[in-house]
Structure 1
Amino acid sequence: MASHQMFKSGQARGEGQAKADQMMDSARGTADAARAKASQATQSASQSKENAGGMLQQTGEHVMNMAHNAMDTVKNTLGMGDSNKKC
């Protein structure tokens, strides 16, 4: 009977080890997927930051041009602009 109990004990141990290995493989797969998603999110955030920087630069240039044009309009209205100079 002792050998029968040892066989059952060994069988249970083997099944437990197989289940533990399966759970570890599953956990590794989940960790790998999470790592990949985090990498994609980081890359996406970096691209968004670059796009936002370019958009802000264009907006700044547009505002400067509008201010310059407004200043020229005021100068022309007051007779101080280049268009009123006589050659």
Structure 2
Amino acid sequence: MDNSQSASYRAGEAKGQAQEKGSQLIDKASNAAQSAKESLQEAGNQAQAKAQGAVDAVKDAANRN
């Protein structure tokens, strides 16, 4: 293998490694985004449940009077 072929091979190797690293970073970012989405959904569900509990408490208090 001459110098030109060797350099071309190394460039191809570097390109492949860079693509793999980029793919891994995209996967990590996607996983982080999904986790954040799930956390926000859970927080929203908890807030909704608390609000419904407050509404029910007000209704109960109003019905007692």
- Tell me the TM-score normalised to structure 2 length: 0.88
Structure 2: give runs of 5+ residues left out of the alignment: none
Structure 1: give runs of 5+ residues left out of the alignment: 65-87
Identity %: 21
* Residue 53 of structure 2: aligned partner: 51
Asked which structure has the greater CA Rg, the reply is 1
Q: Which runs of 4+ in 1 moved over 4 A?
A: none
Letter in 2 for 1:30: A
Shift of 1:6: 0.3
C-alpha separation in 2, matches of 1:53 and 1:3: 74
Which is richer in helix? 2
Shift of 1:21: 0.4
Match of 2:16 among 14, 17, 20: 14
Greater relative CO, 1 or 2 (CA 8 Å, sep 6+): 1
C-alpha separation in 2, matches of 1:61 and 1:36: 37
Shift of 1:59: 2.2
Shift of 1:11: 0.5
C-alpha separation in 2, matches of 1:9 and 1:38: 43
Shift of 1:22: 0.4
